[in-house]
């Protein structure tokens, strides 16, 4: 009697190339769910919208052109842009706080361990957070500015201000303001990743985008040091402000006493954007390096 020996087929081994099903698109979707379900996100974006509309209404309400010469088309465009973007100086701080919290909050709660366990390569999760933060902040900023513009236009029209909304500089200023908020949020996000502390990240971000730009020009004004004025022009908020300013040819408001205007550096919108982007790239890169090297 002969028997037939059978052998079990070898168990199939998953191909490493198939991975675990974690794709960048899925990581982005996960980060979007986390971002929109955080109360800090909802409150931050709501505050940005409310402040943008409130400051716009305030500016349009108190504006009175009867005490000055009649505004030409350029002047009318400038007034409308200022009305729509008047709150950016304040809302940038809210965007910065949100940028820090989106990453530092995970270190505080320990959720960062779950994030990095799901995506052990780390950098895709880091990039996904940055992408979701930048896009959502830009969209909310543009929405707030657009709503403010629509609300304030009738008020300004009653005062003889009728801007050309299709003017290239007007469109550049409105879009630039929204892009500026997104870049500031990314800059703060990088600080949050580097410091892994909400307090430290917020203090560093606010110090760089608000305190230094306030202090350095005043120091330059009284010290007669032209180089301080020029250095201040390359700070993130000063450079970024050129992205949405219509009067881009004007020098910085505080300059060294008696300084030669030809020695003062004045960035145009494109240069200002490049300087701010450079800040963001460097800070995000440092945050990425530290994220890869340190334990969660």
Query: What pLDDT tens digit does each residue of the chain (296 aa) get?
Result: 444 444 444 444 444 444 456 789 999 999 999 999 888 899 999 999 999 999 999 999 998 877 666 788 898 999 999 999 999 999 999 999 999 999 998 888 888 888 888 888 889 999 999 999 999 999 999 999 999 999 999 999 999 899 999 999 999 999 999 999 999 999 999 999 999 999 999 999 999 999 999 898 888 888 878 888 889 999 999 999 999 998 755 555 555 545 566 678 889 999 999 999 999 999 999 999 999 888 76
pLDDT of residue 4: 45
pLDDT of residue 89: 93
pLDDT of residue 72: 87
- DSSP H or E segment with residue 54: helix 39-62
Spatial distance between the Cα atoms of 162 and 256, rounded to a whole number of angstroms = 37
CB atoms near residue 218 (< 10 Å): 12
User: CA gyration radius for the chain?
Assistant: 25
Token duo for residue 271:
């240069």
Answer whether 254's CB lies under 8 Å from 221's CB: yes
| Helices 168-195 + 269-293 axis angle, to 10 | 20
Long-range contacts of 163-171 (CB under 8 A, 24+ apart): 163/73, 163/76, 163/77, 163/79, 163/80, 163/81, 164/73, 164/76, 164/77, 165/80, 167/77, 169/77, 169/246, 170/77, 170/80, 170/81, 170/246
Spatial distance between the Cα atoms of 167 and 11, rounded to a whole number of angstroms = 67
Answer whether 83's CB lies under 8 Å from 56's CB: yes
Answer whether 86's CB lies under 8 Å from 55's CB: yes
């Amino acid at each position: 009697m002969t028997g037939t020996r059978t052998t079990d087929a070898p168990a199939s081994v998953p191909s490493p190339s198939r991975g675990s099903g974690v794709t960048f698109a899925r990581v982005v979707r996960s980060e979007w769910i986390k971002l929109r379900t955080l109360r800090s996100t909802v409150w931050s974006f709501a505050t940005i919208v409310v402040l943008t509309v409130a400051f716009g209404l305030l500016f349009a309400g108190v504006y009175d052109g009867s005490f000055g010469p009649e505004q030409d088309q350029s002047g009318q465009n400038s007034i409308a842009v200022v009305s729509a973007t008047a709150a950016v100086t304040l809302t940038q701080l809210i965007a910065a706080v949100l940028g820090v919290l989106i990453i530092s909050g995970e270190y505080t709660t320990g959720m960062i361990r779950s994030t990095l366990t799901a995506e052990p390569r780390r950098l895709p999760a880091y990039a996904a957070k940055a992408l979701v933060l930048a896009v959502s902040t830009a969209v909310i900023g543009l929405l707030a500015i657009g709503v403010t513009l629509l609300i304030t236009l009738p008020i300004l029209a009653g005062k003889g201000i009728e801007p050309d909304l299709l003017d290239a500089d007007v469109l550049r200023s409105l879009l630039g303001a929204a892009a500026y908020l997104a870049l500031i949020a990314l800059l703060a996000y990088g600080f949050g990743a580097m410091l892994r502390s909400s307090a430290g990240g917020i203090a560093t971000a606010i110090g760089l985008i608000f305190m230094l730009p306030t202090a350095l020009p005043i120091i330059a004004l009284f010290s007669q040091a032209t180089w301080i004025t020029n250095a201040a022009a390359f700070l993130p908020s000063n450079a970024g402000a050129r992205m949405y300013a219509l009067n881009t040819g004007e020098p910085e408001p505080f300059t060294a006493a008696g300084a030669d205007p030809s020695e003062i550096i004045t960035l145009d919108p494109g240069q200002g954007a490049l300087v701010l982007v450079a800040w963001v790239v460097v800070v995000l890169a440092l945050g990425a390096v530290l994220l890869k090297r340190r334990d969660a």
